[in-house]
Each structure stands twice: as C-alpha cells, then as structure tokens.
C-alpha cells in the first residue's frame, strides 16, 4: 500500500486529514527552503567525493536544485501538505525532475540532522543581519547624542529628579547596552555555526561519509561531536532567543522613557509624526504607537524564550516530534527583532529634543543638591554632616518654592558659614555637568570622548 509518504510502507492505513494538518510543518518551515537546498548540495558533493554518488548523479542534482530554487524564488513551487515538510517537498520535486538520482540524495542522512542543519544555516545568516541592524541603531543613537552633548536633562532614580546629566550621556547608556547585545549575538553565532549533518537519525551512518568536507563547503567552524546531541540539541535556538529577549528588554526600557518624555507632563522630546497615530475621538491626541508596540512586543519575544525552554525541558534523547515546535517561535523572534531594529533606528533619527523643558524640570527637582553636599565636603565638612545640612536647605527652598541656586548667599550661610560666593558656580546645571569630568562621567568632554570611541569601534 502506498500512501504517498516516504515512510508509508510500514503502515496499513493513511493518516487522517486532521492528523496531517496537526503534524505537518510545511506551511511554516518552507522558509528554510534556500538553506535546505544549500545543505543538500553540500551533502551531495561530499557523497560524490566519497564515491557514494556518481558525477552524473551530482550533475543532475545540481541542475534540479537550481531549477527548484528558481521556482521557489518566483513563487511557482507547489507546496504539498501531504509531503509534510520543506525537506520532503523539495526531495519529491527533485525526484520528479531527475529520477533515481534524486532518491539517492538522502543516502547517509536523516531529516533529523537535515533540519538541525537547515535551522543553523538560516539562523547564522539572520544573526549577521541582526548585528548590522544593532550597529545601525547604535549609530542613530550616537548621532542624536552628539547633537545634544551640552543639553542637560534630569537624571532620575525612582522616577524622582536626581542629578543633571547630559542628554548625550543618556543616549550613550543605550549604546552601551546594544554593544553588549552585539557581543552576545556574535558569541551565540559561534555556537550556532556548528554542523550536525552526518549524525543521521541519531547514531551516525554506515556509509563512509566525510563530515569535514561537508562542514568546509557550508562554512561551519565546528562539527557536532556526538550524534545524539547533534540531532536533539536546540540550545543554540534558546541562547539566541535569550539574547534577542535582552535586546527587546533594552528597547522596551528606552521606549518607556520616550513615551514618558513625549507626554506633556514632561515635554522633553517630540517623536516624528510618521511614528505616531491620532485618536478616533480626541482630535488633539498624538500617540507614540511605535515605542508602545515595541514595549509590548518585548513580552512576545520573552514569551518565545519561555516556550522554547519549556519545549526542551522533558525531552529524552534523541530527536522527538516536539522539536517541530521550535521553528515558529524562533522564526517570529527573528522577524520581530529585525522589524523592531529597522524601525527604531529611523525613529531615533526623527526625535526632536526640547532643552528648555528639560531645564525647567531640573529647576523643579533640586538636581544640584548633591553638588552642594560635595562642595561642603571639599570645605572640610564630613559628608554625613553635609548631607544633613543640604537636606535642611532643600526643605527650606521647597517651602519658599525656590531652587537652591535662587537662595541668597546670606540664607545659604545660615545653614553653614563655610558657604561662600563661589557656591553659585556649583549650583548651576552647567557647573554640575562639568564637575563630573572622569571616565564614564557626564561631563560634555567625556561624553564626546565616548562618542568618538564608539564611532571608531563601529568602523571595525
């Protein structure tokens, strides 16, 4: 009995249509077609070199695969649910085109090591693209930072005004986060770039294959050393999704700040209209939809990470059908991350900064109080005593609805007689920024140095 399945000889009846739909993966794993063909061509070349396929077989396989790839690229390839997945659809089409040579292609491999290889080839390429997009976003943030090195805004802790910082310095904090993301992606790619092909179903193959040859053709740096682990490992997918989740967390944090800063209660920035929408009922509204969606989509990617970890947690060795469920969350993670990075770089480039609103906010929060405490320490007052003195000065200024810099010298001297005329240099926003002139500080010349360091790093 033939049920049009490569494995149907073992069975007495075909699967039902419901089971076919439930177990089939072709409608989502067909996106691996290019890499499936790439892996098959490398496998065929190795089989030919090992004397398992003839030169004529190899020539026919190359010719047939080229035609199939052309059909896929032009959207004329007919995908069949009856053939379950991307691998069998391509193999069946190849066999229809070139006959027995197509049937011999699967010698010495299994769909288990084939799919693991396809996913790694695909993800390797996607990571390369993601790293470039991360660097593009870093560049946009650096450009925004450089335009606003001397612009001061309140630095917050607990969402309360803490100390003045350079807006450029604030942007560079996210450049640092993205730099770690680049490092994580590059490091993850090293483990992605390990070849499982040749492990076959789970135990290797009886054919005299040369896995080193296949790895060299496909550009893999390493070969999976244990056949059981090779077909069942999805650590690389989990690791990538964890790295992607961190990227999305970073962008979600920045999105939260952009949303707050755009609110009239802050009014620190404006986001270009093309990234916002209006209200169907309130004509005055300009809603920051893109950063809000990024904030929401971070949960989507983090959810995929939890799903993949849960998928693997109870699987015995070696391959299990459960692993078919790795693709959709992984595909969606990549798509979401790439779309987010593309739109974010453009959005950052379209931000308008409003320095006067930031300056007004700094006046409201006694942002230079720490500077006054440090001033007293430099005059010989122990820090804990200076902290208490300044706290009393702040309490008084608050009752008078004045900033510390607005208090007359005579009043400041009531809190401590060591305070003199030079205190007003300390109490200015500009003086506060300039005073933090050390590596990693918010002084404008330090921010500029960091910008130059990052620009040089991004060139390499």
The per-residue DSSP string of 389-413 comes to HHHHHHHHHHHHT--GGGS-HHHHH
**In the predicted model, what is the mean pLDDT of residues 210-218?**
98
Spatial contact of 116 and 124, defined as CB atoms under 8 Å apart:
no
> How many Cα neighbours within 13 Å face the side chain of 96?
10
Residue 63 pLDDT > 90, yes or no? yes
Q: Which regions of the chain carry the CATH code 1.10.275.10?
A: 8-107
Q: What are the residues facing 277 on neighbouring strands?
A: 287
Mean pLDDT in residue range 235-240: 98
Instruction: Judge whether residue 57 has pLDDT over 80.
Output: yes
Cβ pair 144, 171 in contact under 8 A? yes
| Mean pLDDT, residues 110-139 taken together | 98
With contact defined as beta carbons under 8 Å apart, do 107 and 96 qualify?
A: no
User: How many C-beta atoms lie closer than 10 Å to residue 409's C-beta?
Assistant: 12
Tens digits of residue pLDDT in 251-285: 999 999 999 999 999 999 999 999 999 888 988 88
- Give the number of other CB atoms < 10 A from CB of residue 458: 15
Listed in order, the ranges of the chain carrying CATH 1.20.200.10 are: 112-207+218-359
Query: Catalytic positions, please?
Result: 158, 279
- pLDDT confidence of residue 1: 36
pTM for this one?
0.93
pLDDT of 435 higher than 90: yes
- Look at residue 6 in the predicted model and tell me its pLDDT: 64
**Residue 349: closest CA among 170, 138, 149:** 138
* Ranges for all domains in the chain classified under CATH 1.10.40.30: 364-459
How confident is the model at residue 389, as a pLDDT?
97
Question: Which one, of 141, 215, 152, lies nearest residue 179 by Cα?
Answer: 141
CATH of domain 112-207+218-359: 1.20.200.10
Beta carbons of 449 and 184 less than 8 angstroms apart: no
Question: Is 189:128 a contact under the CB 8 Å cutoff?
Answer: yes
8-107 maps to CATH 3.40.50.620: no
Sequence-separated (6 or more) residues with CB below 8 Å from residue 414: none
Q: Would you say 329 and 307 are in contact if contact means Cβ atoms under 8 Å apart?
A: yes
What fold is seen in the domain 364-459?
A: Ribonucleotide Reductase Protein R1; domain 1 (1.10.40)
* Residues 169 and 198: beta-carbon distance below 8 Å: no
User: How would you class 348 by CB atoms within 10 Å of its CB: exposed for 0-12, middle for 13-18, buried for 19 or more?
Assistant: buried
Q: CA 51: distance to chain centroid?
A: 44
What value does the mean pLDDT take over residues 388-416? 95
pLDDT at residue 2 is higher than 70:
no
- Judge whether residue 3 has pLDDT over 60: no
- What is the per-residue pLDDT for 4? 52
């Amino acid at each position: 009995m033939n049920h049009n399945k490569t494995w149907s000889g073992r069975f007495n009846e075909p699967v039902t249509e419901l089971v076919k739909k439930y177990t089939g993966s072709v409608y989502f794993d067909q996106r691996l077609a290019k890499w499936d063909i790439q892996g098959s061509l490398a496998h065929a070349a190795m089989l030919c070199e090992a004397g398992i396929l003839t030169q004529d077989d190899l020539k026919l396989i190359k010719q047939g695969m080229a035609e199939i790839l052309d059909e896929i690229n032009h959207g004329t390839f007919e995908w069949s649910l009856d053939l379950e997945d991307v691998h069998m659809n391509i193999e069946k089409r190849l066999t229809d085109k070139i006959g027995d040579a197509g049937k011999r292609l699967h010698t010495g491999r299994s769909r288990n090591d084939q799919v693991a290889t396809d996913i790694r080839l695909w993800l390797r390429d996607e990571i390369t693209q993601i790293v470039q997009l991360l660097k593009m976003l870093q560049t946009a943030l650096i450009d925004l930072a450089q335009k606003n090195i001397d612009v001061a805004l309140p630095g917050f802790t607990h969402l309360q005004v803490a100390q003045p910082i350079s807006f450029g310095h604030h942007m560079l904090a996210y450049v640092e986060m993205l730099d770690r993301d680049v490092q994580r992606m590059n490091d993850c790619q090293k483990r992605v770039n390990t070849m499982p092909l040749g492990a076959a179903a789970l135990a290797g193959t009886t054919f005299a294959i040369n896995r080193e040859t296949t790895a060299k053709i496909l550009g893999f740096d390493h070969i999976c050393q244990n056949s059981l682990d090779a077909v069942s490992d999805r650590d690389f997918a989990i690791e990538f999704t964890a790295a992607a989740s961190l990227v999305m967390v970073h962008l979600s944090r920045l999105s939260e700040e952009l949303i707050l800063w755009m609110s009239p209660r802050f009014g620190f920035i404006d986001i270009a209209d093309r990234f916002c929408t209006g209200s169907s009922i309130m004509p005055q509204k300009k809603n920051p939809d893109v950063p809000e969606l990024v904030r929401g989509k971070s949960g989507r990617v983090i959810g995929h990470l939890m799903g993949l970890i849960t998928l693997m947690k109870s699987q015995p060795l070696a391959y299990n059908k459960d692993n078919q469920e790795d693709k959709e969350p992984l595909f969606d993670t990549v798509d979401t991350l790439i779309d987010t990075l593309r739109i974010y770089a453009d959005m950052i480039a379209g931000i308008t900064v409003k320095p006067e609103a930031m300056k007004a906010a700094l006046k409201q929060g006694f942002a230079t109080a720490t500077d006054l405490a440090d001033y007293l320490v430099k005059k010989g007052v122990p820090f804990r005593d200076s902290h208490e003195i300044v706290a009393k000065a702040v309490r008084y200024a608050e009752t008078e609805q004045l900033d510390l810099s607005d208090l007359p010298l005579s009043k400041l001297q009531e809190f401590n007689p060591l305070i003199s005329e030079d205190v007003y240099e300390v109490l200015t926003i500009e003086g506060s920024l300039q005073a933090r002139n050390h590596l990693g500080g918010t002084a404008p010349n330090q921010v500029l140095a960091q910008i130059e360091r990052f620009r040089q790093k991004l060139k390499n």
